[in-house]
């Protein structure tokens, strides 16, 4: 029997937001030369603090997994068998990955190749890296986008395909890859989604998943412009304002919301 220090009691006063200052990578200033903003997670938290939504005492800080923890689910040759979710979390037997990063998610696709417990929906720019044909075999609902896809087409495709995905495979949990590299002007993502479109996308995903009483884990993923931190913070504020996140968020209707979004112009 493996013993671990990973699990901890989380008081009800804390939010379901996991953050550590160690997520922000620095190396003698060289990180500023990289297109990815390695400090954006700290910026997101600071924006939310400025809006009086969060304080340090409300956050959950994850504990670092030891080598022994990782070897419970991974081989020493390469940590590529991600079955921890099913083996250690009670009540989880079916999962859905909704991958809305601009790039094909070939990592998790290869990890779960042939695993019928995991349903993968992937929406990505078909012309950019990685173009992994083998990994595409693991995608149960594939939506390939063209260069410069804009809000209306994008949101329509996301909504229709999430609806179909949840009809085909109702999971015990959804892992949502909320990449912001879909933002207009992102040279690596190659799409043209506005800041308001990203806020609306996240709202749409949460509304449809929570409307079915399914827990959702959102990871912020890619995004190669400095302004993405503000957009992520605004999206979280929007989700909170709509009652879709919080310490005890109730189930909500899966129907489209008439609640106004944040202003289209995001600083």
* Strand pairing report for 173-177 and 118-125: unpaired
| Residuewise pLDDT in 10s, the chain (267 residues) | 678 888 888 888 888 899 999 888 877 777 776 777 888 999 999 999 999 999 999 999 988 888 778 777 667 764 544 455 666 677 889 999 999 999 999 999 998 999 999 999 999 999 999 999 999 999 999 999 999 999 999 999 999 999 999 999 999 999 999 999 999 999 999 999 999 999 999 999 999 999 999 999 999 988 989 899 999 999 999 999 999 998 765 555 555 444 433 333 333
* Domains in the chain: boundaries: 18-242
* pLDDT score of 81: 47
Q: Is 45 helix (H, G, I), strand (E, B) or coil?
A: helix
* pLDDT given for residue 261 in this prediction: 36
Which listed CATH number (3.40.800.20, 3.30.470.10, 3.40.50.880, 3.40.50.180) goes with 18-242? 3.40.800.20
Q: What is the pLDDT of residues 217-256, one digit of tens each?
A: 999 988 989 899 999 999 999 999 999 998 765 555 555 4
Whole-prediction pTM: 0.81
Q: What is the pLDDT of residue 145?
A: 98
Greatest C-alpha distance within the chain: 54
Least Cα distance to 54 among 41, 64, 35 occurs for 41
pLDDT on residue 248: 64
Task: Quote the CA–CA distance of 182 and 154 in Å, as a whole number.
Answer: 10
Alpha-helical (H) ranges within 51-194 are 67-70, 84-88, 106-111, 133-136, 151-168
Rounded CA separation 57/54 (Å): 8
* Whole-Å CA distances, 116 to 89, 99, 109, 157, 191: 18, 17, 12, 24, 31
């Amino acid at each position: 029997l493996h013993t671990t220090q990973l699990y901890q009691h989380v008081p009800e006063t804390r939010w379901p937001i996991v953050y550590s200052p160690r997520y922000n990578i620095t190396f003698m200033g060289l990180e500023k030369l990289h297109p990815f903003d390695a400090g954006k997670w700290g910026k997101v938290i600071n924006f939310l603090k400025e809006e009086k939504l969060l304080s340090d005492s409300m956050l959950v800080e994850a504990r670092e997994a030891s080598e022994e923890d990782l070897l419970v689910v991974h081989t020493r040759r390469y940590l590529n068998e991600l079955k921890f979710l099913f083996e250690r979390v009670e009540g989880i037997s079916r999962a859905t990955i909704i991958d809305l990063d601009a790039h094909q998610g070939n990592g998790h696709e290869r990890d779960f190749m042939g695993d019928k417990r995991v349903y993968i929906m992937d929406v990505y720019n078909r012309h950019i890296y990685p173009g992994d044909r083998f990994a595409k075999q693991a995608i149960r609902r594939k939506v390939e986008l063209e260069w410069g896809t804009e809000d209306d087409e994008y949101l329509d495709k996301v909504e229709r395909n999430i609806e179909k995905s949840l009809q085909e495979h109702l999971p015990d949990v959804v892992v949502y890859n909320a990449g912001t590299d879909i933002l207009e002007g992102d040279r690596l993502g190659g799409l043209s989604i506005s800041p308001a479109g990203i806020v609306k996308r996240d709202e749409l995903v949460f509304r449809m998943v929570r409307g079915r009483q399914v827990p959702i884990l959102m990871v912020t993923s890619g995004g190669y412009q400095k302004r993405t931190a503000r957009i992520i913070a605004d999206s979280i504020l929007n989700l909170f304002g709509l009652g879709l996140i919080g310490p005890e968020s109730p189930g909500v209707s899966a129907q489209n919301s008439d609640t106004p979004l944040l202003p289209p112009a995001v600083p």
